[in-house]
Chains A and B, each alone.
Chain A
Amino acid sequence: MTSVATKMDSLARPAQRRGLSDLGIRNLFIIPTVLFLIVFNIFPLIYSLGYSFTDFSASANAPANFVGLRNYRELLGDENIWANFVITAKYVIISVSGQMIVGFGLALLLNRTFPMKGLVTTLLLLPMMMSAAVVGLFWKLLYDPSWGIINYALGLGDFAWLSNPDAALFAIAITDIWMWAPFVMLLSLAGLSAVPKYLYEAAAIDRAGTWYTFRRITLPLVAPILLIALIFRTMEAFKTFDIAYIMSTQPTTEVIAIRLYKQAFQQWDTGKSCALAYIVLIMVLAITNIYVKYLNKVKER
């Protein structure tokens, strides 16, 4: 007791005279991080903005020539690039709507008390914590036309999921749904558990039907958080690279990130890739902006 008291005493001096001021600490704590992010995230972007106006190729020894907006013009006029964007949009729609339906459905099922609920929920969350590249590789085995368990379980014979140009995108989306439906489930569960019990009790007293209760009470109250899940997943699906790149090289599954990768690191068309990267970047930032606005709105409530 005495020793504690002495220790406290020795520290009991006016704070201002020792150590850094609050302002100093604030700057010390915040500025390095911001600088780091500027150097390693923003500076590279400025660097590549510059290259996007040139015909630079990282594989040639020739210096870069300024070409103005030619790269952008060519890209926006290239039907192949538009095809990649259409594939990406298709992928986003299939995959994200699948995740929303499966995820929200799972949450509705889970939103009650039963034994080992915690364990089951955690088990269901495992897929989203795993590496998309490694999981994608393994799903190739599951999809194998001759011995894959998926065809066996569904009785599909030797349907070739990944080599069929029309099915491949769906196959990748299914894997993605498997990975990320748990994400939607997790958010939905949080939303569902936040719905006050008394609202349901009131509805029961009014003899409201299950569907009516769901539509008028559950859905409106869970909607904001579902929307967050939707925007977040849309953004992530838009950026998809790993899973699609590992699972398939079909022209019908060449999402924009794969096109960008090929252009930049296989054809070494660096200048043009920088321009394409900027087009993609602007789209992603637009979605991010919506996302952050929503986050703030939800946080305020």
Chain B
Amino acid sequence: MAAVKSSGRAAVNRLAVVGVIIATLIFLAPIYWIASTAFKPRALATTVPPTVLFQPEITSFIKLFVKRVQMNKAVDPATYAAAPWWEQRIMDNGERVLRTGDNVQLSGYPSRFMNSLIIAITSTVLAVGMGTFTAYGFSRFRVKGEADLLFFILSTRMLPPIVVAIPMFLMYRAVGLTDTHIGLIILYIAFNLSFSVWLMKGFMDEIPKEYEEAALVDGYTRMQAFFKIVLPEAATGIAATAVFCFITAWNEYAFALIMTNRRAQTAPPFIPSQLGSGLPDWTVIAAGTFLFLLPVAIFTFALRGHLLRGVTFGAIRK
């Protein structure tokens, strides 16, 4: 009887694992499709039936970085022969590369990618820095109305971006912060700070008070104890919080759409504008998307032990 039951359970287990495999394949299919389209020749990106096997190439990445223009007639053979290999690939697609003098003109993508990096990194450092201090304050000291204050801090995160964007737009206009890096950095700090406080508070609560108390007895000041004892203990938590904040800032769309135009524009509002002109070139969009998603994918793996905590503001942990 028992044997029957356990073999039945094993069968259920096997079935479940098959289910897991199928589900994983379905969930990864869109991501695979982005990645594979990025390496396809343009003609194979939109075929019926969809092309699965192909000779991968990096033309789309070259196209992503240079400014190109559609030709309305065939390329002159002499020009073609004189062009470097990567430019020939672009000419094969009916486009020519723009130059200023002898220099290849870059597309808007590299500068948007850099903006994304600058804004995400700066805002992360500041949000996590401030959040760590505040979390320590809440974790170690009695604060009057602590629950209400923490609720207030959390609720700022729950505000729909579009709601905050209207007054922020007016305020930024008044002080000239629209389309600046600082403007977007401030917004992202405001957006991430509450998250960083909540998550860090969870991590701080886990560090035994006894460590600092021992240090205080040894004559450390509170500040010294914080910097020399607590911070090193909290390093993992800080790193996890930072990665979460980075990803949020990196992915943010609504504020970036409204508050930036050119100088400080980040990648998310820019990538859709790569849709191209008369006919969209999906390989280039895929290449831009691929490069943009890559850091997030890597970080997700780095974070995997902290994901649960991260998505629940530190409320639930294993």
Contact = CB atoms under 8 A, between A and B. Distances in A.
Interface stretch (A74-82, A163-171, A276-284): A276-284
A281 B170 CA distance: 18
Most buried by A among B31, B226, B292, B312: B312
A281 B105 CA distance: 45
A47 to B, nearest CB: 4
B156 interface: yes
A190 B310 CA distance: 13
A183 B173 CA distance: 37
Interface stretch (A28-36, A92-100, A214-222): A28-36
Interface residues of B, number: 102
Contacts of B23: 106, 109, 124
Interface string A50-75: 01000000100000000000000000
Dominant secondary structure at the B interface: helix
B161 interface: yes
B160 A241 contact: yes
B29 interface: yes
B66 interface: no
A230 interface: no
A23 to B, nearest CB: 8
Nearest to A224: B316
B39 interface: no
B20 A109 contact: yes
Contacts of B301: 122
A132 interface: yes
Given A40-B187, A139-B30, A260-B163, A183 B311 contact: yes
Contacts of B304: 118, 121-122, 125
Contacts of A13: 219
23 contacts: A18-B221, A25-B223, A28-B133, A29-B137, A32-B130, A33-B133, A34-B152, A48-B166, A51-B167, A124-B23, A129-B247, A133-B271, A141-B286, A149-B33, A152-B50, A178-B27, A183-B311, A241-B254, A260-B163, A261-B258, A265-B169, A292-B155, A295-B315
A19 B221 contact: yes
A11 B167 contact: no
Contacts of B166: 48, 51, 264, 270, 273-274, 277
Interface string A120-150: 1111111111111111011101101011010
Interface in B294-318: 296-297, 299-301, 304, 307-308, 311-313, 315-316, 318
Nearest to A181: B27
Interface in A276-301: 277-278, 280-281, 284-285, 288, 291-292, 295-296, 298-299
